[in-house]
Amino acid sequence: MERLRRERIPLTVCPLSNVRLGAFAELSGHTLPALLEHGLLVTVNSDDPAYFGGYVDENFDAVRRELGLSTEQLRELAANSFRAAFLDDRRRDEFLAEVAAWTP
């Protein structure tokens, strides 16, 4: 975990898929909050929604509802997706500014 944090290695997490595939019995038991607490570069994604249920927005809604994530935690997850993306600095900064300005 220290290496993941130190090297800012992105972790793509697909919460609804994780439950559907049996990695977690229920979404409420997902380790996503702990990953954030440890300062890891974690992102929320979807995994073949037709088979595993849930596009990205549905995954975000589910973790907000089931894990009680705060607005700041949701903002961090969204920002992480741009930090992990293959973008030039100018474009990344534009997206990060949009995320920073987001209010639910």
Rounded mean pLDDT, 79-101: 97
Using the 8-state DSSP alphabet, how is residue 25 labeled? S
Structure tokens at 54: 């849930």
d(CA 47, CA 3): 25
Domain count, the chain: 1
pTM of the model: 0.92
pLDDT tens digits, 49-60: 878 878 999 999
Q: Tokens 């990060």 belong to which residue?
A: 96
Across 31-93, the runs of DSSP E, i.e. the strands, are 42-44
- pLDDT (0 to 100) of residue 78: 97
Domain that holds residue 32: 2-101
d(CA 45, CA 42): 10
pLDDT tens digits, 3-38: 999 999 999 999 999 999 999 999 999 999 999 999
d(CA 102, CA 38): 24
Report the share of the chain in percent with pLDDT over 70: 100
Contacts of 73 (CB under 8 A, 6+ apart): 33, 36
- pLDDT (0 to 100) of residue 50: 78
